[in-house]
């Protein structure tokens, strides 16, 4: 990516702002960086030279539209372009707030609309089978206890996989069987309290008792086979094996267990606001996707059971 030294300095400050003040996860910051780098590469090609700060601020509506058109020509998904637009808006928002440099043309642009794929939850029976069967894949009893505890946290507490694997030994208390709630730090550093079912507490206690590695108070509690922090890819691999073993669809992933947690609560009458709090969603609109999932299930049941169906 060719750009002026001034732009490089701006980008460095913007990255720090994203990670510090906005508190975006490192993966999100990296994705924003890639999107902005691709945008600047387009601008350099479109304008016939690497942009400087003045040129960046002076881009017109036609320039932004040309960028969107180029992405469409390349066959990039609308969801990808929507994220790229969010990244570029973030950079210009930083220029506005920190450097008082305004670009009204971007504010006039609309983000491309796209349909978010609805979550695909497992059935209660499938989710139960996943959590009770995963231990059979392990090569050692302590690994079986670990994997069972992790998947129960995803399905029984609605944790993201990163949240589960970030739990420290201290977070589980002296005896997880007596722990009623977990304090989870989610996206953006936002904390929430998640009730802990007795079956999860028992599974966590079983793992702690079986784990052969020393568990320091502030270190991640879930350990890999060689004693290092457990990597998400190991959990993902276990779920892939479970798909084959149990005949589950390709959409059965660790994250699908979190979706299943929310969908099954909703089906049993839980309030949408409560589910929002449990999942740690910043916006209710994100949680409302589950109402569409549940409505689809009800429509299928109705169509199959109604005498006029």
Instruction: Give the ranges where the chain is alpha helix by DSSP (H).
Output: 5-20, 26-47, 53-57, 61-73, 78-99, 104-107, 124-133, 141-157, 161-165, 198-210, 232-246, 254-267, 272-279, 284-287, 289-305
**116 counts as catalytic:** no
Q: What would the two tokens of residue 180 be?
A: 């009623």
Catalytic residue among 160, 192, 223, 264: 160
Give the number of other CB atoms < 10 A from CB of residue 178. 11
Catalytic residue among 71, 83, 258, 264: 258
Q: What would the two tokens of residue 109 be?
A: 């642009």
Q: How far from 110 is each of 32, 103, 272, CA to CA, in Å?
A: 18, 14, 29
**290 counts as catalytic:** yes
Catalytic residue among 120, 169, 185, 187: 187
Catalytic residue among 146, 192, 264, 281: 281
Expressed in angstroms, the distance from the first to the final Cα of the chain is 59
**207 counts as catalytic:** no
**8 counts as catalytic:** no
**231 counts as catalytic:** no
Catalytic residue among 290, 297, 300, 308: 290
**258 counts as catalytic:** yes
Active site residues: 160, 187, 255, 258, 281, 290
């Amino acid at each position: 990516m060719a750009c002026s030294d001034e732009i490089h300095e701006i980008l460095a400050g913007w990255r720090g702002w994203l990670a510090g003040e906005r508190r975006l996860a490192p993966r999100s910051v990296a994705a924003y960086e890639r999107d902005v780098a691709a945008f600047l590469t387009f601008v350099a090609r479109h304008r016939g030279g690497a942009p400087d700060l003045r040129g960046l601020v002076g881009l017109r509506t036609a320039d932004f539209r040309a960028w969107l058109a180029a992405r469409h020509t390349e066959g990039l998904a609308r969801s990808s372009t929507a994220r790229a637009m969010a990244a570029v808006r973030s950079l210009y928002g930083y220029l506005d707030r920190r450097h008082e440099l305004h670009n009204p043309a971007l504010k006039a642009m609309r983000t491309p609309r796209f349909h978010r794929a609805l979550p695909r939850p497992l059935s209660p029976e499938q989710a139960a089978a996943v959590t009770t069967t995963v231990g059979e894949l392990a090569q050692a009893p302590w690994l079986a206890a670990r994997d069972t505890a992790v998947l129960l946290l995803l399905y029984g507490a609605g944790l993201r996989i990163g949240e589960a694997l970030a739990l420290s030994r201290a977070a589980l208390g002296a005896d997880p069987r007596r722990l009623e709630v977990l304090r989870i730090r989610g996206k953006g550093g936002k904390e929430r309290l998640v009730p802990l079912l007795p079956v999860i507490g028992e599974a966590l206690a079983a793992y702690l008792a079986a784990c052969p590695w020393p568990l320091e108070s502030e270190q991640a509690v879930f350990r890999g086979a060689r004693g290092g922090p457990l990597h998400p890819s190991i959990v993902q691999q276990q779920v892939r094996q479970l798909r084959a073993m149990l005949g589950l669809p390709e959409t059965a992933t660790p994250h699908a267990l979190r979706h299943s947690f929310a969908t099954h609560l909703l089906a049993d009458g839980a309030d949408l606001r409560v589910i929002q709090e449990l999942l740690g969603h910043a916006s209710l609109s994100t949680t409302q996707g589950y109402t569409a999932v549940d409505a689809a299930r009800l429509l299928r049941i109705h169509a199959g059971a109604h005498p006029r169906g």
